[in-house]
Amino acid sequence: MSEKIFVTKATMPDMEEYFEEVKELWDTHWITNMGPKHDALEKELSEYLGIEKDNIALFVNGHQALECIIEAFELGTEKNDKGELKDEVITTPFTFVSTTNAIVRKGLKPVFCDIKEDDYTIDETKIESLITDRTCAIIPVHVYGNVCNVEEIDRIAKKYNLKVIYDAAHAFGVKKDGDSCAHFGDASIYSFHATKVFNTIEGGAVVFNDKDLKRTLNNWKNFGITDPEHVEYIGGNAKMNEFAAAMGICNLRHVNDGIEKRKEIHDKYIERLSGIEGLILSGVENFESNYAYFPIRLEEKAKLSRDELFGELENNEIYARKYFYPITSQYDCYRGMFDPTLTPIALKMAEQIMTLPIYPDLKLEDVDRICDIICSKLK
C-alpha cells in the first residue's frame, strides 16, 4: 500500500541545523521582541528579495501583516467631497479567506472585481468601472504566484490616487522581467506559513516603498508603543518570535533548491498531463515562477468534473485541494452581503479548479502515480 499524499508538506531544515541556529537563545534568553534573529532574518530576506532592510517588516503571520499595513496607510479614515468615508477597497473573491477578512476586519468594504480565466488574477480591465468617490485602495492577489498586471494596476491607481497593496502570500521568490515581486504597488504582504514556499512555521512580512513606514509598522505590531512611556497608535501584537525567525534563517538557505525541485515536479506534470481534452494546466508564465502550486482546471467538456476527479484521487489516498472553493464572497460569514454572481468567472473557476500535490520532497514516482490516475480517468 502506498503512502498517503497530501497537497503540500511543510519544508523543514535538518534538526541539527536548526538546533545550531537556536542554541544561543539559551544563553541570551532573548526569545522575542525583535531580537537578533529577527534582525538577521530581515536583513537576509531583504537581500533575497532585492530590496533594502528599511523596506521590510516581519510579522507573526501574513494575515496580521495585511491588517497592519491597512492600519499604517490609515485606509478608510479619509473623507470625500460629500463628507463620506472613503472605505471601499477593490479586490477579488478568488483568494484565501484572509484577504477578504482583513479588509472587513479593518472596517472597510470589499468591492469584488472579477478575475481572468487565463491566470486567475484580478481582471484589470474591469477595475475602473468599480471605482467610486469612496474607493481608497486596490488589494489584488498574485494567485498561485501568477503576477497580476502590475503596470496597468499602477496606471489606474495613479490616475485615481489609490493605494495598492498586493497580497503576495503565494509569490515568494517570484520575479517579473528580473524584478522581484516585492517592488510592485505601495506595499505587498508575504506569508511565511508552514504551507508556503518559504516558511517560518507561522510568519509573514510587509514590504513597502516608503521607508518611513518601517517605524510605523514596527510600532503597530508592538501595541503602538513608541517608547516606554508613550503609546502613539492603538496597535496590537503581531511580532515574529526568535524561534520562528531562526526557522526562517535555516529555510532561506535551502529555498532556491526547493524551488528547483518544485520545478522538476511541475515539468513532470506538464509532460504527463498536456493535451488531455478539457484539462487546463497551470496558466501563462510571462514571469519567473516559484512553482508554489499546480492548479488544474476541468472544463465542462472534460470526462470528469473537478469534484469527480477530486473524489477519485481521494479514493487513492491522494489529497488534492479545492483551492479556491468556494469564493470568499460565498462564505457563511458573508451571507447576504455580496452577490457572488457579479464575479461570474471567479464563480466558475472555483467550480472547476483544484491544486495537485507539489512540494520539494514529493517523489517523481509519486507524481507519476498521480498522473496515471488522472490519465486513466480523463483520457
Ligand X SMILES: *Cc1c(COP(=O)(O)O)cnc(C)c1O
Residues that bind ligand X (CB under 6 A): 61-63, 95-96, 98-99, 141, 167, 169-170, 191, 193, 204
Which residue, among 119, 160, 106, 120, has the nearest Cα to 138 in the 3D structure?
160
| C-alpha cell at position 102 | 482583513
- Judged by beta carbon, residue 87 or residue 167, the one nearer ligand X is 167
Which residue number is nearest to ligand X in terms of Cβ?
62
- Judged by CB, which is closer to ligand X: 96, or 338? 96
- In the bound complex, what is the minimum distance in angstroms from residue 369's beta carbon to ligand X? 27
Q: State the minimum distance, in angstroms, from the CB of residue 135 to ligand X.
A: 21
Query: Considering beta carbons, is residue 149 or 188 the nearer one to ligand X?
Result: 188
Please state the closest distance from residue 167 (CB atom) to ligand X, in A. 5
- Decide whether 63 or 175 has the Cβ nearer to ligand X: 63
Phi first, then psi, for residue 347 (nearest 5°) are -60, -45
Q: How far is the CB of 232 from ligand X (least distance, A)?
A: 25
Least Cβ distance, residue 92 to ligand X (angstroms): 10
Task: Please state the closest distance from residue 82 (CB atom) to ligand X, in A.
Answer: 33
